[in-house]
Amino acid sequence: MSYDYQGIASVITASRHMGTPPDEQLNESANIQLTSSGKPTLARLSFDDPLQWPPHPNYVTVNLPDGSSVGGVIADIEKSTDGPGWVTFTVDD
């Protein structure tokens, strides 16, 4: 399945580690670009403005305006405290 979207969405960044409660940050109304490829599916989420992140993030979920969502384990990340960034993740599909 292809996950391609550009526009406003909510993004949940999370730290999910065994033995500790999950720590999640909701980023509402984020301007994003989401693309995907391959099998297993690898998605890339780019964002214009910095997102809020918990310590040691390892999971991301994107809630799209049509009610669908896509998420998975973070493979690589480039986050900034004052500008754009991106994250790649394996899609749970």
Q: What are the tens digits of pLDDT across the range 28-84?
A: 999 999 999 888 889 999 999 999 999 999 999 999 999 999 999 999 999 888 999
Structural domain contains residue 19:
yes
What residues are paired with 15 via a beta bridge?
A: 23
Nearest alpha-carbon partner for 41 in 14, 2, 74, 6:
2
Looking at the structure of the chain, the number of domains it has is 1
Structural domain contains residue 51:
yes
Structural domain contains residue 92:
no
The residue segments making up the domain with residue 59 are 5-73
Report the 3 state secondary structure along 53-66: CCCCCCEEEEECCC
Q: Does 18 score more than 90 pLDDT?
A: no
Q: Quote the pLDDT of residue 75.
A: 96
Nearest alpha-carbon partner for 34 in 92, 86, 93, 90:
86
Mean pLDDT of 3-24: 93
Structural domain contains residue 85:
no
